[in-house]
Amino acid sequence: MKILITGGAGYIGGELTYQLANHDDVEEVVVYDNLNRGNYNLFISNRNRITNDKVRFVYGDLLDSRTLKSAIKGIDVVYHLAAKVTNPFETVDTNVFEQVNHWGTAEVVALVEETETVKKFYYLSSTAVYGFSAKGEFLTEDSRLNPRSFYGISKMRGEEQVARLLEKIDGAIIRCGNVYGYTPSIRFDSVINRFAFDSNFNNRISIHGNGKQSRSFIHVSKLMTLLEDLRNDKVPNGIYNFADKNLQILDLVDVFKEVYPELEFIFINQHLDLRDLTIDLDLKLKEYISVSDSDFKEEILAMKNESFSF
């Protein structure tokens, strides 16, 4: 099995590259990435150094049709992870979001349609396509899409491109909650990872709004398990939400205070009551795969004790 991972050097892609390369049924993993985040950890991390010849790196953009077409040649499975991501509710760089997340996805889909070898295609989307949820509402895959950010709009349009492809080949669209947890290419612009860094090194975290807004979350290790399992024909074609926790920001703060008793926190624009975005945790995916329970405090302790060097 030959696998292409767009965004394969990123936060999620780098870990997926490492995991897949260690499966006996995987012949080659092609990492397609433009390294625009300046993240080279896949290539230098002791933990993720690949000791065999299974991994091949291709430097390129999604809209670089010639390079992308060459990278897709002979591929059996595509994981499309590459995206412009800063914050799911970012409201700047509208053109970049559209070019990368929408038209970049359209380019990947078009080139996959041209090849006869790709049999499976998996697209990592986001719960940001829903926009927001009402207080006490838990969104399902059947909920109306109403993205409220340029990021969410671009991911929704990317989904439209992929949905057309999934009428022809196997695959799935995964609407992921806010991903957290350590990998060598960890992002620190997501709320839990940012809190973990600031708690450990600055002893202070910043809370935007009054902190009563709720979000859906999933640990990166569980996302890895899902992505690895997808290629084994367990999950039918379709669109799936994926998260295992709905937590208020203040709930996060409480746990970080337990882990770091001297932690300080400040509010920014505390008068703002920001909107919720929570999903129904009775996931459709649970019909096909198991999602293990985990203790959030234990996960934060692991980040403190195992991930940070001081």
Which residues are designated catalytic?
A: 151
**28: its two tokens:** 């080659």
Q: How far is CA 158 from CA 37, 152, 162, 164, in A?
A: 21, 10, 6, 10
Backbone phi and psi for residue 92, each to the nearest 5 degrees, phi listed first: -125, 170
What is the rounded CA–CA span in Å between residue 164 and residue 95? 23
Q: Are strands 77-80 and 55-59 parallel, antiparallel or unpaired?
A: unpaired
Q: Are strands 245-248 and 77-80 parallel, antiparallel or unpaired?
A: unpaired
What is the rounded CA–CA span in Å between residue 187 and residue 183? 9
Backbone phi and psi for residue 29, each to the nearest 5 degrees, phi listed first: -120, 120
**205: its two tokens:** 């975290």
Q: How many CB atoms lie within 10 A of CB 254?
A: 11
What is the rounded CA–CA span in Å between residue 42 and residue 16? 10
**294: its two tokens:** 């985990």
**Which residues on adjacent β-strands are paired with residue 120?**
77, 170
What is the rounded CA–CA span in Å between residue 284 and residue 261? 38
The one-character DSSP state at 284 is G
**126: nearest Cα among 103, 106, 107, 154:** 154
> Is 30:54 a contact under the CB 8 Å cutoff?
no
> Is 155:192 a contact under the CB 8 Å cutoff?
no
